[in-house]
Structure 1
Amino acid sequence: MNIKTQASRWIVGIALSVSAGVAGADEVPFNQAAYAQAVAAGKPVVVYLHADWCPTCRAQQPIVDRLSKEPKLKDVTIFVADFDKETALEKSLKASQQSTFVVFKNGHEVTRSTGQTAEPAIRAVLEQAL
């Protein structure tokens, strides 16, 4: 491979990385400090209480992955919280089930949903953060 080809591949890789980062929502592992800061700042936030063993969560995950890439949701941060480990978060949110989305806008909870597996319903929930 010559230097021009390498340079071209590098430039294309950078362009794809940048466009992928701008294209959709941030889907990140739950972090208490980052979550608290985002909600306090009034940013659009969704907490997704997920469990690997949960069949509903397994059905939701590819939908969330797909929707999080949509440009419309680019400003939304989706915190994926492990239902089995984040017990303090569950108590603070009064969430008793996995497969739950809790949506915040302007620092306040605006909606929540549990057990949805239809893409249009999940989309509607995530868009409530906008």
Structure 2
Amino acid sequence: MTTRRQILAVAWLALSISPAMAADPVPFEQAAFDAAQKAGKPILIEVSAPWCPICKAQKPVIAKLTKDPRFKDLQVFDIDFDSRKDVLKGFKARMQSTLIAFKGETEVGRSVGETQPEWIEGLVEKTL
């Protein structure tokens, strides 16, 4: 049985989530990616590995960009390099630290090993 306190806690949590949180990276799921493409959303695929120092350098840059109002609709999908080889093959991504930008269903750019904030921002701007 759901108590009033539980209902209020869930309602408060739902109201406290900011729109910027929607742009935080989420693990890649094909259905969510397909839906974002069909909706014409700007999309960034982030191929990363927990042991990769370049990936660790990219993450704060991407996090900062997702908070920028220009990129409020950006969908960021994270693909784990070590465990999602099936998905990587579909994207033709051979290395961790690969970033792939989509404008809806069209790939508009990609980079491998890039850590310069200006260059990553330039790639993400292509999704708009």
Q: Normalising by the residue count of structure 1, what TM-score does the alignment of the two structures yield?
A: 0.80
Shift of 1:23: 7.8
Q: What SS class does the counterpart of residue 76 from structure 2 fall into?
A: strand
Q: Name structure 1 gaps, 5 residues minimum.
A: 1-12
Of the three residues 29, 50, 57, the one matched with 1:52 is: 50
Change (3 A) 1:55 1:23: closer
Alignment correspondent of 2:16: 17
* Aligned-residue offset at 1:51: 0.6
Residue 107 in structure 1 maps to residue 105 in structure 2: yes
Counterpart of 1:72 in structure 2 is: 70
The residue identity in structure 1 corresponding to 2:33 is Y
Give distance in 2, aligned partners of 1:58 and 1:32.
Answer: 24
Ranges in structure 2 where 5+ consecutive residues have no aligned partner:
1-11
Q: 1:90 to 1:34 in 2, by over 3 A?
A: same
Q: For residue 7 of structure 2, what is the aligned residue in structure 1?
A: none
Q: Which residue of 1 aligns with 2:30?
A: 32
TM-score of the two chains, using structure 2 as the length reference = 0.81
Aligned equivalents of 2:67 and 2:44: distance in 1? 14
Q: Say whether the 8 Å CA contact 2:36–2:104 is kept in structure 1.
A: no
CA distance in 2, matches of 1:24, 1:69: 10
Corresponding position: 1:129 with 2:127: yes
Aligned counterpart for 1:88 among listed residues 86, 89, 92 = 86
Superposed CA offset, 1:27-82 (max 9, x none): 22211210122123322111100111001001111111111111110011010111
Whether the 8 Å CA contact 2:27–2:79 is kept in 1: the answer is yes
Counterpart residue type for residue 16 of structure 2: S
CA distance, structure 1, for counterparts of residue 119 and residue 45 of structure 2: 16
Q: CA RMSD in A?
A: 2.1
